[in-house]
Amino acid sequence: MEDTGRQQPAEQQHTKKPSGAGGVGMEEVMHTAEMQSIPIDFAGLIRAGVIERRGPWYKVHRWEDLPEHARAQISDWKSGQEMVVRFHRPTKKLKASASPSQSQDAEQEPT
């Protein structure tokens, strides 16, 4: 593409990744923040056989069935014969802002 010297509109300047800088665009940041704010239904995932609790870790039986928002909240993992992961603990601010129905349906505190 030829550089015409024209600047992009302001809204496009903030959502595009800087070329060659390996940076993260604003859309990606917003999407990640949204995914990390959705509570994980640990009990439902365990009942469905998607994950299994292993102390502070969870063995992932079916990675393809682990929701995107849960994958976005993985803080650590170990792989080998089996994949085990840890999830970020939600901040107090996020827990306080969760609706009552979300709080009842989702285990908030992986330990």
Query: What is d(CA 84, CA 59) in angstroms, rounded to the nearest whole number?
Result: 4
Give the angle subtended at the CA of 63 by the CAs of 109 and 53, to the nearest 5°.
35
Query: What is d(CA 10, CA 78) in angstroms, rounded to the nearest whole number?
Result: 42
Q: Which two tokens stand for residue 31?
A: 């999407």
Number of domains in the chain: 1
Range of the structural domain that residue 51 is part of? 42-90
In a domain? residue 4 = no
In a domain? residue 102 = no
Per-residue pLDDT of the chain (111 residues; tens, 9 = 90+): 444 454 444 444 444 444 445 567 888 888 888 888 889 999 999 999 999 999 999 999 999 999 999 999 999 999 888 889 999 876 655 555 554 444 444 444 455
- Say what the pTM is: 0.58
In a domain? residue 81 = yes
Give the angle subtended at the CA of 98 by the CAs of 85 and 41, to the nearest 5°.
35
Query: What is d(CA 46, CA 35) in angstroms, rounded to the nearest whole number?
Result: 20
In a domain? residue 100 = no
In a domain? residue 111 = no
In a domain? residue 107 = no
